[in-house]
Amino acid sequence: MIVIILFLFLPDTLVVYPFLVGANYSTDNTIGRSMFPVIKPGDTILIKLLAGDKINHIRVGDIICFKEEGSSNLISHRVTDIQIYPWLMFKTKGDANRISDGWIKIGRVKGKIVCIIPSGFFISSGRLIGLMILSVSLAIVMLRKSQPSVLTTILL
């Protein structure tokens, strides 16, 4: 039951308390549909922060997070091409988009997505009610075994 509860609240916990994933990582919630079906709106992404020589670890096919030009908004798109000379830049495109974003300078790159946590899975698939019933049932069984008198008082 604890595992189920952790799974349900893990995405929100990571966004509220990003230090739980370590100094070299960050989390964010997604809102757009440009990477659908790989990343859906509401999913939580775990971003490995890349700076300096670590930026060289990005390859074609990786999904990177970068700042939108003239904004603090983050965009998560797939790398389709890499330019090394005269300076390092990445061409990106959302999987659901028809047009490329063009070249992204390394100064705008925050990091590479290493994990996608599908936060909307239980709600969108209708499994949340079943999961809640299962969780409450397990809690009642556990309470009955540990303290039968308390459970009787609560239910009566």
The pLDDT value given to residue 151: 44
Q: What is the mean pLDDT of the chain?
A: 79
What integer is the mean pLDDT of 119-129? 55
Q: Write down the pTM of the prediction.
A: 0.68
Could you give the CA distance from residue 24 to residue 128 in angstroms, rounded to a whole number?
33
pLDDT range class, residue 129, cuts 50, 70, 90: low
State residue 117's pLDDT score: 84
Model confidence at 128: pLDDT above 70: no
Reported as a single tens digit per residue, the pLDDT across 20-67 is 656 688 888 888 999 999 999 988 898 999 887 788 889 999 999 999
pLDDT in tens, 90-120: 999 999 999 999 999 999 999 999 989 887 5
CATH topology (fold) of 2-125? Umud Fragment, subunit A (2.10.109)
Domain boundaries, the chain: 2-125, 129-156
Answer whether residue 12 shows pLDDT above 60: no
What is the per-residue pLDDT for 144?
A: 63
